[in-house]
Amino acid sequence: MTASVRGESTNATFVGASGKTGDTETSGALVPDIAAGQLRVMDFSVESEHLVMERKWWTLVVVCVATFMLLLDITIVVVALPDIQRSLGANFSQLQWVTDAYALALAALLLTSGSLSDRFGRRRIFVIGLVIFTLGSVLCGVAQDPNMLIASRAIQGVGGAMLFSTSLALLASTFHGKERGVAFGAWGAITGVSVALGPILGGLITTGISWRGIFLVNVPFGVIAIVIALACVDESKSPHARRIDWPGVLTFTVGLLALVYGLTEAGQRSWGDAVVVTSFIVAAVLLIAFVVIEMRVSEPMFDLSLFRTPTFVGGSIAAFTMNGSLFAMLLYLVIYLQDALGYTSLQTGVRLLLMSGCIMVFATISGRVSAHVPVRWLIGPGLLLVGVGLLLMMGITKDSNWTHLIPGLIIAGIGSGLVNPPLASTAVGVVEVHRSGMASGINNTFRQVGIAVGIAVYGSIFSALVSSSMRDHLSSTPVASRSSELSDAAHNGTIGQIITTLPPADRAVVGEAVHSAFADALNTLFLVSGIVAIIGGLCAMALVRREDFVVSHAPHATQKPQGQPA
């Protein structure tokens, strides 16, 4: 016998006189037809409840799959960049844009996507994002030149923005109480797992297949995620949905693009170059205009009132400095391991497992204890550990082995693992559920702005230092007459191609100069990024407060009265 709802059929069971469930018999007698009809309805309500529970957890699954793909595409690409450079003939600036195009699109459109999801439905925007992200992955996989790859990465970022802005909002509207803590913990753990598996998967796929495979691997998972989302994720909207703030979208997007473009070009040109200065002026004017617009419009894309809450400010700073320190540094760490030390993509991924494995393990631990420990004691100390780990990596020389990096990789990985899960819950924990889309969008915007700006700034520093250091090291060698050419090649990332054309004796001299120049530049980057992480940790400890959390979001085990210090 069956009962049907929404066109779906489900088996109905009978309940015997003893109260136990069975098939068609109870205490030796069949249930009368009329009673069976009543019991069938009652039993269907139980099964319906189970279906609702299953749909709820499928929502968590598909959100985690989408998040996994998003974050995997940051770290999985990094280890393949040297192979991409050789395959497509990309220069150093184009390599930066392969990463920054993705992060910039994410950062620029996260807020807009959050507003769109609140207004038109979070599931709808989530599914559209999956389609665009999957299409972008296909285009990346078939790219024939650096510019096509950069454009395709931007398309990926557009889809990723829709996914990122709706992920936490979908969880916040689906789960409540202790279940929300479990869901956020799982989401946070997935962020750690994706970062952990990115380098090793990137190495395996790049070495075993090609760099194109790191993008095409998204396609089957994207298709499956689309099917699950359409079948199982419930739609949710904000009852206070805002109109789209198009002037805000335009000024923020173009202003951010101008800023990152200027920072990137400064490394290729000079800080005083007319193009660079013009980019900074345009960025400053547009970003100031963006703030003015958001203060004046009735329905802003970027609700500045959220920054009246100290915890929200602290969480935003933590998001920016977390991605702007460790994750932005991954690109240059990979370049050092592959171009200076000569490791393959797979060998690089294996060595980075020391850090990424710690991220995965401690993200799981942090997710479990975040319901019982004030989040500031996870976010703040976690960022401090990231800073300490980066500073410990300083001191490398031309003769250093990768083992010099081991203590720093482990400590930075532990710190990063502690930060991610509580940072996710902090983003939406200080606002009402109907504002969670905007809150998560702002927090994720700070994450992506951090990595985009970090890569651009570090790239400018790295290029300038490598170039000047190469000139210094080659000035008194047999290849001194070619020092300008070789330093420019190191600056553009094409030094490896030139070295192969040199006589063996000169090759050794230039190779030693490259190692020294890379070490000098990387030491400076470790110092700068370490300071960035420490500043973020101190700000988080000073600003994140338990009393700012909305009661319905706060963990039961640690909830304190208003005003009581964390």
Question: 291: helix, coil or strand?
Answer: helix
Q: Pick the range with the lowest mean pLDDT from 46-60, 177-191, 400-414, 463-477.
A: 46-60
Local confidence band at 508 (pLDDT 50, 70, 90 cut-offs): confident
Residue 289 lies inside a defined structural domain of this protein: no
Cα gap 339→92, rounded to integer Å: 12
Examine the domain organization and report whether 11 and 62 are in the same domain: no
pLDDT at 20: 39
At 470 the pLDDT is: 82
Give the residue with greater pLDDT, 484 vs 534.
534
- Of 31, 48, 65, which residue sits at a domain end? 48
Here the tokens at position 194 are 């994706």
- pLDDT recorded at residue 150: 95
Asked if residue 309 and residue 418 are part of one domain, the reply reads yes
Are 162 and 27 members of one domain? no
How many Å apart are CA 458 and CA 390, to the nearest integer? Answer: 14
Query: What mean pLDDT value characterizes the chain?
Result: 80
CA dihedral 456, 457, 460, 462 (to 10 degrees): -110
Q: Flag whether 131 is in a domain.
A: yes
Q: What is the pLDDT of residues 15-72, one digit of tens each?
A: 333 333 333 333 343 333 433 334 344 444 444 555 555 677 888 889 989 988 888 8
**How many domains does the structure of the chain reveal?**
2
Q: Is residue 525 part of a domain?
A: yes
Place of tokens 């700000």: 539
Selection from 319, 363, 351, 336 nearest residue 452 by Cα = 319
Mean pLDDT across the stretch 485-504? 72
Quickly tell me which residue has 């960035």 as its tokens. 532
Say which residues have a Cβ less than 8 Å from residue 388's Cβ, sequence separation at least 6: 411, 412, 415, 530, 534
Q: Looking at residue 491, what is its pLDDT?
A: 66
Token reading at 502: 């040199």
Torsion of CA 75, 77, 81, 86, to 10 degrees: 160
pLDDT tens track for 56-97: 788 888 998 998 888 888 778 888 988 898 889 888 888 889
Q: Would 492 be classed as within a structural domain? A: no
Residues near 16 by Cβ (< 8 Å), separated by ≥ 6?
22, 25, 26, 27, 31
Asked if residue 209 and residue 120 are part of one domain, the reply reads yes
Q: Residue 194 pLDDT more than 90? A: no
Could you write out the DSSP letters of every residue in 136-176? HHHHHHT--SHHHHHHHHHHHHHHHHHHHHHHHHHHHHH--
Asked whether residue 502 is domain-assigned, the answer is no
């996260």: which residue's tokens?
A: 110
> For residues 69 and 218, is the Cβ–Cβ distance under 8 A?
yes
Contacts of 69 (CB under 8 A, 6+ apart): 133, 194, 218, 221, 222, 225
Check if the beta carbon of residue 432 is closer than 8 Å to that of residue 172. Answer: no
How long a stretch of residues is the chain? 566
When pLDDT is cut at 50, 70 and 90, the band that residue 499 belongs to is confident
- The reply to whether 160 and 41 lie within a common domain is no
Residue-wise pLDDT for 268-312, tens only, equals: 777 888 999 999 999 999 999 999 998 888 878 788 888 888 999
Is the full-model pTM beyond 0.85?
no
Asked if residue 387 lies in contact with residue 534, where contact means CB atoms within 8 angstroms, the answer is yes
DSSP 341: S
What H or E segment, with its residue span, contains residue 51?
A: helix 33-78
Same domain, yes or no, for 136 and 23?
A: no
Judgement on whether residues 42 and 113 belong to the same structural domain of the protein:
no
- Report the candidate in 354, 304, 324, 361 with the shortest Cα–Cα distance to residue 537: 324
The mean pLDDT of 182-201, rounded to a whole number, is 77
Do 102 and 18 lie in a common domain?
A: no
CATH number of the domain to which 397 belongs: 1.20.1250.20
- Domain end marker among 12, 33, 48: 48
95 within domain boundaries:
yes
What's the rounded Cα separation, in Å, for the pair 502 and 79?
A: 27
* Residue 199 belongs to some domain of the structure: yes
Say yes or no: 69 and 9 in one domain: no
The domain containing residue 17 runs over which residues?
2-48
Residue 207 lies in a domain: yes
Residue 138: is its pLDDT beyond 60?
yes
CB atoms within 10 A of CB 250: 14
Residues 171 and 198 in one domain: yes
Q: Which of 517, 454, 435, 511 is CA-nearest to residue 236?
A: 435
Please count the other Cβ atoms lying within 10 Å of the Cβ belonging to residue 20.
Answer: 9
Helix (H, G, I), strand (E, B) or coil at 14: strand
92 and 192 inside one domain: yes
Residues 42 and 128 in one domain: no
Per-residue confidence (pLDDT) for residue 241, from 0 to 100: 64
Tens digit of each residue's pLDDT (9 = 90 or more) over 323-351: 999 989 988 898 888 877 888 888 988 89
